[in-house]
Structure 1
Amino acid sequence: MGLIDKKQVERKFTKALSKYDNNAIAQQQINLRLIELLKNNGKLDFSTVLEIGCGTGLFTQLLREHISSKNWIFNDICDVRANLEKLFLGDIFEFHLSDAEHWDFAKRSYDLISSASVIQWFNDPCFFIQRITRHLNSQGILLLSTFSQENLKEIRRLTGIGLDYPSLDDWQQWLDADYEIVYLAQQEICLSFLSPSDVLKHLKNTGVTGIKQHYWSKYNLKTFITDYEKMYKLESGKVGLTYSPILILAIKKEK
């Protein structure tokens, strides 16, 4: 697969913003697992926190509930400042509208850099990790979730559409030199839907169709629905969809 069309990603996620929270079932489970990792690590008081790709604020809200920070900085490719204002209710925060792959990190350093279900949209995650590292203080925490090569495997097998996901070994290699890796693991979240059509609606309402422009002919859609039901029907009569997140908590080594 070629470079990701960031304008396409921005359009799809902007269109899905109003429906995202009610449909992002797997992402909400991932967010809770990230918070548990952070709580288990013990450090919950920070001077400066950055969340990359804050979106509608689902993960932001959990961060606000479970940690404290003197300075909150947020970034997203979509203009979601209004969502943050509702969460912060007059408290001070910074929001930077930008593609994080080409952003200057507000030219500062952080004690915690977090990002939930975002980095899979980057064209060069390895280089991005290198840039993050330069903006993370010594003993600072990197808290991330992305997805593995098994993510949405049903869709990839039937349509050939999917992102190029790095492997666990890739992440291990990218982090080893500069971080103490506290947690790095691949998990699985299996969702069920009444029909393949509902699967497609779910993906649209969570912005996932930003992978590429895809037009369905009546024949292709009918074939997709028939094949999906045949291959991925569950005992309940519903059909399954698999998310495969990778969760990371790493601490920057002292140099």
Structure 2
Amino acid sequence: MIIDKETVRKRFGKSRHSYNQHASVQREICGKLTDCLATNGLTTFSSLLEVGCGSGLLTNEILKIATPRKYYVNDLVGAKENGIEEIFRQHQFKDWTFLEGDAEIIEFPRHLDAVLSSSTVQWFHNLKAFILKVHHAVKPGGLFAFSTFGPQNFQEIKTASNQGLLYYTANEIREMMSDHFDILYLHDEQVQLHFNHPTDVLRHIKNTGVNAIAKTSCWNRRKLEAFEMNYPVSTPNDFVLTYHPIILLAKNKHE
């Protein structure tokens, strides 16, 4: 499925007021990613770029452990729309620049110490090309740290609706990275949320903006009934939604 980036921008823009409240898994992933950075002593940056900052979950965690000299943030949704300004204001951090637009297309700053991203690259059209783009933007020995999702992510949604993103395995991502980066850390796991009804699952994905796969978000009665009937159930009133996060830290190779 070819992802419509404009649809992604609109859906995440609409969910900006509900995202932080409902994106518990994404928040946990941001914490784990920054914990990995801190554990590996990767907290000193002159300049870094965060790709897909959204409402600032990762930004907030990064600013707890690091004080970069220059912080670039990027997102499809504009800075005033997603509220990223408030995150920097809370941390009293002033030297930041917002780069609005599609990270696969816009020009990146050069000679960066790090490119960081969380729960974003699964929306990209060409991950391998993006990895090369980061390679050229980051200094030799610099850091590329990100999280994405693996093949079991939202597997129940795919079963119920026959719709879903293309997700790469951790080993496939490792292979894509191997020409330009040395892997420092790679971990994947599965996290499950539990809901009382399939419609609660739909409400959850709407509130977190991840319903941006299809252009239309209209659910007529027939589609909704089919979704409810096809949704896997483990026990009565217990409908599971699986997340499959992958976290990766890598060092840019010297050319």
TM-score, structure 1 normalization:
0.93
- Any runs of at least 4 consecutive aligned residues in structure 1 with deviations exceeding 4 A, and if so which? none
Q: Could you tell me how far apart the structure 2 residues matched to 1:159 and 1:219 are?
A: 12
Indicate the residue corresponding to 1:168 in structure 2.
Answer: 170
Q: Could you tell me how far apart the structure 2 residues matched to 1:9 and 1:120 are?
A: 12
Q: What secondary structure, in the 3-state scheme, does the structure 2 residue paired with 1:45 have?
A: coil
Q: Could you tell me how far apart the structure 1 residues matched to 2:95 and 2:197 are?
A: 44
The answer to whether the 8 Å contact 2:122/2:165 transfers is: yes
Alignment of 1:206-217 (within 5 A): 206-214=208-216, 215-217=218-220
Indicate the residue corresponding to 2:12 in structure 1.
Answer: 13
| Structure 2 residue runs without a partner (length 5+) | none
Indicate the residue corresponding to 1:80 in structure 2.
Answer: 79
Q: Could you tell me how far apart the structure 2 residues matched to 1:79 and 1:66 are?
A: 25
Question: Is 1:218 equivalent to 2:221 in the alignment?
Answer: yes
Deviation of 1:240 after TM superposition, in Å, equals: 0.8
The answer to whether the 8 Å contact 2:110/2:136 transfers is: no
**Greater alpha carbon shift after TM alignment, 15-24 vs 107-116:** 107-116
Deviation of 1:123 after TM superposition, in Å, equals: 0.4
The answer to whether the 8 Å contact 2:181/2:250 transfers is: yes
Alignment of 1:1-255 (within 5 A): 1=1, 3-81=2-80, 83-89=83-89, 91-105=94-108, 107-214=109-216, 215-228=218-231, 231-234=232-235, 237-255=237-255
Which amino acid letter does the alignment assign opposite residue 44 of structure 2?
D
**Greater alpha carbon shift after TM alignment, 237-246 vs 95-104:** 237-246
The answer to whether the 8 Å contact 1:178/1:253 transfers is: yes
The answer to whether the 8 Å contact 1:234/1:240 transfers is: no
TM-score, structure 2 normalization:
0.93
Structure with the largest fraction of helix: 1
Per-residue deviation, residues 82-121 of structure 1 (Å, max 9, x unmatched): 622212226221001111110101x322111100000000
Deviation of 1:81 after TM superposition, in Å, equals: 4.0
Per-residue deviation, residues 110-137 of structure 1 (Å, max 9, x unmatched): 1111000000000001100001100011
Give aligned-pair identity as a percent: 32
Which amino acid letter does the alignment assign opposite residue 20 of structure 2?
D
Q: Could you tell me how far apart the structure 1 residues matched to 2:66 and 2:80 are?
A: 21
Per-residue deviation, residues 156-176 of structure 1 (Å, max 9, x unmatched): 011111011122232111111
Q: What secondary structure, in the 3-state scheme, does the structure 1 residue paired with 2:212 have?
A: helix
RMSD (CA atoms)? 1.5
Deviation of 1:234 after TM superposition, in Å, equals: 4.2
